[in-house]
Amino acid sequence: MIRSMTGYGEAERESPAGRLRLEVKTVNHRFFNSSIKTPSGFDKHERDIAEALKRHLSRGHVSAFLTLDRSASEQEAAPNVDLDRARQIRDALASMGAELGVPGAVDLSMLARFGELFRVPEQDRRVGVEPEVIKALAEDAARSVCSMREAEGERLAADLDERLSGMSAALDRVEVRAPERLLAERDRLRQAVRELSEQVDVDEERLAREIAYLAEKWDINEELVRFRSHIELFREAMLSDGAEPVGKRLGFLVQEMHREANTIGSKSNDAEITQASVALKEEVERVREQVENVE
C-alpha cells in the first residue's frame, strides 16, 4: 500500500477555553517539514502538535492551523458588575443634575449605558488548555489526513500499475526483436560482402565471427533482466503493508529503470528497439513524476 503526500484533515474538540479546531494540509516534500500556526498564548503547544503529526506523517510539508472559538465559553460566563464604579457614576450624575438644574432621576437604564461597568471575568478569558487535549486533537487531525492520503495513494497505485504494465509490454517487444536484428544484420553483411567482392562466395566462418562480435556488443539481456527485476520490486513495494514509507525506495527504483532504458537505447542499433526504448523512458518519466508524491 502506498500513500500520497497530498492530503487534508481536520479535527475539533471542546475545551474549557472554547472550541478548538485543527486543520492540517500536506503537500510534497522530501522530508517531514512542519509549519504550525496557533492563536495567541498557544505557541507553547506547537511542539506537541508537530510531534503528534510526525508520528503519522513521515514525509511532506505539513501546515497546521489551530483556531479557538471562545464565544461559547464567554457566553456561559456571567459578567461582573463594578458596583463601586456604578455608585460613583450615579452620584456624579445626580450631582450634575442638581448643579445644572436638569430634572430627572438617575435610573438603571441610564447606568446600563456605561459599558465599562460590565466585564467578563478575566480568569475565564485566560483559561488554559491541557497538553493532552492538544495532543489528542493533533492525533485526530493526523488520522484524518492519513485517511485522505491513503485514498489518494490507491489512485496513484492504479496509475503506476498501468505504467508498469506498459513497460513490461515494451520489454517483451525488445526481447522478441533483439535476436531478429542479429539475423537481419547477418543477412545484410552477407549481401554487402557479395556485392563488394563481385559475387565471390562469402567466408561464412568470418561472417559468423563478426555476428558473434555484434551479438556480444549489442547484448541487452542483462538490461532486460534487471529492468524486469526493478518492475517486480516496484510492485512488491506498492503492495507492502504500509507500515514503512516506500517513496524513497520507489524513487531509487525509478532511477535504475531510467538507467537500464538508456543502456537499451544505446545498444539498440535498430529502429524498433529504439522506439521501444523511447517508450520506456517516457513511461519511466511519468512514473517518476507520480512517485514524487508518494510518502
pLDDT of residue 199: 57
Mean pLDDT of 6-27: 93
pLDDT of residue 123: 46
pLDDT tier at 133, thresholds 50, 70, 90: very high
Q: Which residues, in sequence order, are bridge partners of residue 13?
A: 20
| CB 71 within 8 Å of CB 41 | no
Region for 242 from its dihedrals, namely left if φ exceeds 0, alpha if ψ lies in -120 to 50, beta otherwise: left
Listed residue (139, 144, 157) closest to 295, CA to CA? 157
pLDDT tier at 114, thresholds 50, 70, 90: confident
Q: Is 37's pLDDT higher than 80?
A: yes
Query: DSSP character for 6?
Result: -
**Stretch(es) of the chain classified as CATH 3.30.230:** 7-73+130-147
Instruction: Say what angle helices 131-196 and 204-217 make with each other, to 10 degrees.
Output: 170
The torsion angles phi and psi of 119, rounded to 5 degrees, stand at -140, 140
Mean pLDDT of 265-286: 88
Mean pLDDT of 253-258: 96
Residue 7 vs residues 76, 87, 109, 137, 249: alpha-carbon distances, Å? 36, 59, 55, 17, 21
Range of weakest confidence among 95-109, 140-154, 159-173, 196-210 = 196-210
Q: What is the pTM of this model?
A: 0.67
Mean pLDDT of 38-46: 90
SS3 content of the chain, % helix, strand, coil (to 5): 65, 15, 25
Of 156 and 124, the structure prediction assigns the larger pLDDT to 156
pLDDT of residue 136: 95
pLDDT digit string, tens, across residues 160-218: 999 999 999 999 988 888 777 766 666 666 666 566 566 556 666 766 676 666 656 66
Reported as type and span, the H/E element at residue 66 is strand 60-69
pLDDT of residue 213: 63
Asked: is 7-73+130-147 a CATH 3.30.1490 domain? The reply is: no
Q: Is 21's pLDDT higher than 80?
A: yes
